[in-house]
Amino acid sequence: MVAVVSGLVLIAGFVIDARSTTTAYLVAWNALAAIPIGALIVFMTSYLVWRRWTEALHPIFVATTGILPVGAVTFIPILLFAREIYPAIADGSSLPPFRAHWFVQWFFVLRTVIYFLIWITLAQWLRRAWRNDEAIVRAASVGSIVWTLTVSFAGIDWLESLDSEFHSSIYGLIFLSFLLVSGTAFVIAAGLLSSRQIGPSRGYSGLLFSVVLLWCYLHAMQYIVIWSANIPKEVAWYLVRAENGWQFILAALSFGQFVFPFCALLSSRVRSDPHWLLALCGLTVAMRWLEAAILILPAIHGLSRVVTGAMLIAAGLFLGSVFWMAFDAILTRSEESEPLGAIWWRARAGTEARSAGQGR
């Protein structure tokens, strides 16, 4: 019902204000689709660095990357309304010849289809290689290279091109880190919530800590290079995000994604506590919404704040419910695991039974 009602609200939004609705939908889609796309590279890494986590989290990896087709299908509204938010697609006459041809709409759609076909194929390859040592190393090695290249191009196409005047040579890696922290945090959180014994939380805390540091390093590098070079078109990208309230959202992202997790994970007690780790993973996934908003919303002009805010909620509910249903369905079919929903309900029933027993 959540998916149906929110979907109808989105349809009404596309009719009333296509520009604001498409922008809000793009923010929500990036925040949620980052999970399966980012989990794909973590899946490959688990094959290359074979440890206990490779076995323990395998069903989670399979279920998370299994929703990539859902991510592809839910991207269709953005392709249909691309002219509303991508200036290079709407009018490429003022662009250099190469960029004008690169951002022709049919070519933009074709590249997007190719990206998803590649990622879905890689996910299938990784699943089929399971229990075959040679195939595992081959799939993960080739897949890591292909994933990195395609993700970099996708980040430039989907996010950087929202501002036709801005260019950063490191933007592809910025988008890569966006996906990596999201996929890592979700997989670890799902593993902690599952009924499987995934091992001590200290190792997973170290993994989360490392990807958060990489995320911070890449953002800091882009900022330092652009600010020191003092190129007006590139510096303006930061100036827009330092006014009109965006400075507070940027500060919240810096604190929630780096300062607080960094200080917390320095503590041995926090690293060893699965409850703390679960909370930090949840915070990391939530911070993707702020980052997606900062990357996307300031670049698009003429948005209605009311429509954009309402459609953000509707898109979050629609995409969140669709992605979760797909993830839970795949996990349910797995012979190695139990759906997280069943685990949660069983835990709740046990708590209620204990409470009733204490009452008697």
Task: Report the alpha-carbon angle 173-158-21, nearest 5.
Answer: 135
**Tokens 């933007």 appear where?**
171
Question: For position 127, what pLDDT does the model report?
Answer: 93
Model pTM score:
0.89
Residue 130 · residue 46 · CB < 8 Å:
no
Mean pLDDT confidence for 66-90 = 93
Closest CA to 32 of 349, 327, 337, 350: 327
Q: What is the pLDDT of residues 302-319, one digit of tens each?
A: 899 999 999 999 999 999
Least confident of 151-165, 223-237, 250-264, 283-297: 223-237
Amino acid at 313: I
Question: For position 360, what pLDDT does the model report?
Answer: 52
**Distance from CA of residue 258 to its chain's centroid?**
17
Torsion over CA: 126, 130, 133, 135 (sign) = negative
Closest CA to 181 of 63, 287, 268: 287
Return the percentage of the chain with pLDDT > 70, whole number: 92
Mean pLDDT confidence for 194-210 = 84
Confidence check: pLDDT of 100 > 60 = yes
Amino acid at 340: L
Confidence check: pLDDT of 337 > 90 = no
- Confidence category of residue 184, pLDDT binned at 50, 70, 90: very high
Q: For the residues of 199-244, what is the DSSP string, one character each?
A: --HHHHHHHHHHHHHHHHHHHHHHHHHHHHHT-HHHHHHHHHTTST
Least confident of 1-5, 131-135, 157-161, 295-299: 131-135
Higher per-residue confidence, 71 vs 133: 71
Q: What is the pLDDT of residues 53-72, one digit of tens each?
A: 888 889 999 999 999 999 99
Please tell me the distance from the alpha carbon of residue 180 to that of residue 85, in angstroms, as a whole number.
Answer: 25
**Tokens 């596309």 appear where?**
14
- Confidence category of residue 168, pLDDT binned at 50, 70, 90: confident
Count CB-CB contacts under 10 A for residue 148. 13
Please tell me the distance from the alpha carbon of residue 323 to that of residue 317, in angstroms, as a whole number.
Answer: 10
Return the percentage of the chain with pLDDT > 90, whole number: 65
Domain 17-334 sits in CATH at: 1.20.1630
Please tell me the distance from the alpha carbon of residue 43 to that of residue 37, in angstroms, as a whole number.
Answer: 10
- Domain locations in the chain as residue ranges: 17-334
**How would you class 274 by CB atoms within 10 Å of its CB: exposed for 0-12, middle for 13-18, buried for 19 or more?**
middle
Question: For position 341, what pLDDT does the model report?
Answer: 47
**Tokens 């006459």 appear where?**
93
- What count of residues does the chain have? 360
Confidence check: pLDDT of 158 > 60 = yes
Confidence check: pLDDT of 346 > 60 = no
Question: For position 343, what pLDDT does the model report?
Answer: 46
End-to-end CA distance of the chain: 37
Count CB-CB contacts under 10 A for residue 184. 25
Question: For position 94, what pLDDT does the model report?
Answer: 75
Residue 332 · residue 62 · CB < 8 Å:
no
The distance between the two most distant Cα atoms of the chain, rounded to a whole number of Å, is: 79
Higher per-residue confidence, 351 vs 17: 17
- What's the mean per-residue pLDDT of the chain? 88
Higher per-residue confidence, 50 vs 75: 75
Count Cα neighbours of 27 within 13 Å in the Cβ-side half-sphere: 29
